[in-house]
């Protein structure tokens, strides 16, 4: 008897073998007990599967599993994936471009705009905090002044803004621009209406030249000035006239004794 292939045995077990070949396979199984046992096991497993899942198999295919719908969904997913990939490439390219054109800001000395942006960002992060707005509370103003002065390596007093209706909430130490000593101090003040302003102070820039600037940045008003000892940015969202009054008070107190200081805000 010619050899029977495994494909023929599987087709016989599944009931798919042509009638003309069945007698040959049955004769082979009659002479080979191991093959007959294996075919019998396969047939029993097939019967069990049909018993369990036959009714489900007879049901119509759900719309969500229709080949046309599945193909369309796969196409949409591929399109979305392609769009995300294109967007990611565009963002990477934009980041590289921004990094390239921002080299004058990052590689050179820190400019007033860099420090103002840092001050406004720090303001937006901490001014909304309630329990963790500051590291050291205003009730420890002497310790706060000593600690921040040591970190900035310059004397930093706590401005008294009570005449403007503001009291010291406290302060914290922040990372700062490398050219300004790499550290910054943030002082926070609050009035009875819970309006807050922050004062962002760093060590002087290397050139130490006097500078004054007022801009609206990131939804806040920022008053920046620098002298031979420190740079300072007063940030808040109050009306411009009130911000100028507060900034003038801060400037007058933190610049006291500096012969290069000139009152930057008039009127």
For residue 198, being part of any structural domain is answered with yes
**What's the pTM value of the predicted model, to 2 decimals?**
0.58
Q: What is the pLDDT of residues 156-198, one digit of tens each?
A: 999 999 999 999 999 999 988 887 888 999 999 999 999 999 9
Token pair listed for 97: 């471009």
**Mean pLDDT value of segment 82-101:** 55
Q: Do 122 and 236 belong to one domain?
A: yes
What domain range includes position 13? 6-58
More confident residue, 96 or 238: 238
User: Taking 60 as the threshold, does the pLDDT of residue 73 lie above it?
Assistant: yes
Q: Do 217 and 129 belong to one domain?
A: yes
Instruction: For residue 159, give the CATH number of its domain.
Output: 3.30.200.100
**Rounded distance between C-alpha atoms, residue 152 and residue 123, angstroms:** 19
Q: Do 114 and 246 belong to one domain?
A: yes
The alpha helices in 102-206, defined as continuous H runs, are 103-107, 112-126, 141-152
pLDDT for res 104: 44
Q: What percent of the chain has pLDDT over 70?
A: 73
Banded pLDDT at 49 (limits 50, 70, 90): low
**Rounded distance between C-alpha atoms, residue 165 and residue 193, angstroms:** 10
- Within 8 A by CB and 6+ apart from 212, the residues are 224, 225, 226, 264
Q: Do 133 and 87 belong to one domain?
A: no
Q: Phi first, then psi: give them for residue 234, nearest 5 degrees.
A: -100, 125
Is residue 175 classed as helix, strand or coil in its secondary structure? strand
Q: Which of 16-30, 131-145, 190-204 has the lowest mean pLDDT?
A: 16-30
**Mean pLDDT value of segment 29-48:** 81
One-character DSSP codes across 41-64: HHHHHHHHHHHHHHHHHHSPPPGG
**Mean pLDDT value of segment 73-84:** 68
Closest residue by Cα to residue 166 from 135, 143, 188, 148: 188
Q: Do 179 and 233 belong to one domain?
A: yes
For residue 151, being part of any structural domain is answered with yes
For residue 51, being part of any structural domain is answered with yes
More confident residue, 245 or 64: 245
For residue 82, being part of any structural domain is answered with yes
Which range, 15-19, 35-39, 122-126, has the best average confidence (pLDDT)? 122-126
User: Taking 80 as the threshold, does the pLDDT of residue 79 lie above it?
Assistant: no
For residue 203, being part of any structural domain is answered with yes
**Residue 218: CB atoms within 10 Å:** 15
Q: Do 52 and 24 belong to one domain?
A: yes
Domain's final residue, options 26, 42, 58:
58
Number of domains composing the chain = 3
Q: Do 181 and 227 belong to one domain?
A: yes
Q: Do 24 and 82 belong to one domain?
A: no
For residue 266, being part of any structural domain is answered with no
pLDDT for res 82: 65
Q: Do 29 and 117 belong to one domain?
A: no
For residue 267, being part of any structural domain is answered with no
pLDDT for res 106: 42
For residue 261, being part of any structural domain is answered with no
Average pLDDT, the chain: 80
Q: Do 31 and 137 belong to one domain?
A: no
Largest Cα–Cα separation, the chain:
116
User: Taking 60 as the threshold, does the pLDDT of residue 95 lie above it?
Assistant: no
User: Taking 60 as the threshold, does the pLDDT of residue 68 lie above it?
Assistant: yes
pLDDT for res 121: 92
Q: Do 125 and 164 belong to one domain?
A: yes
Q: Do 45 and 173 belong to one domain?
A: no
């Amino acid at each position: 008897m010619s050899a029977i292939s495994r494909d023929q045995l599987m087709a016989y077990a599944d009931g798919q073998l042509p009638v003309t070949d069945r007698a040959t396979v049955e004769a082979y199984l009659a002479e080979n007990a191991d093959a007959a046992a294996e075919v019998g096991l396969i047939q029993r497993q097939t019967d069990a599967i049909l018993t369990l899942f036959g009714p489900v198999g007879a049901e119509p295919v759900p719309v969500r599993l229709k080949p046309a719908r599945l193909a369309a969904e796969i196409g949409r997913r591929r399109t979305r994936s392609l769009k995300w990939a294109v967007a990611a490439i565009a963002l990477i390219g934009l980041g590289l471009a921004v990094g390239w054109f921002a080299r004058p800001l990052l590689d050179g000395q820190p400019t007033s705009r860099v420090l103002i942006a840092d001050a406004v960002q720090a303001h937006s992060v901490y001014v909304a905090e309630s329990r963790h707005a500051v590291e050291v509370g205003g009730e420890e103003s002497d310790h706060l002044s000593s600690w921040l002065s040591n970190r900035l390596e310059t004397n930093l007093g706590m401005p008294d803004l009570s005449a403007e209706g503001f009291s010291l909430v406290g302060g914290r130490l922040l990372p700062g621009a490398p050219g300004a000593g790499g550290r910054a101090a943030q002082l926070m003040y609050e009035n009875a209406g819970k309006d807050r302003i922050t004062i962002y102070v760093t060590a002087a820039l290397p050139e130490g030249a006097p500078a004054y600037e007022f801009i609206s940045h990131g939804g806040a008003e920022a008053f920046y000035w620098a002298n031979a000892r420190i740079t300072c940015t007063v940030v808040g969202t109050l009306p411009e006239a009130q911000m100028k009054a507060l900034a003038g008070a801060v400037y007058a107190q933190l610049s006291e004794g500096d012969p290069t200081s000139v009152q930057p805000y008039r009127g």
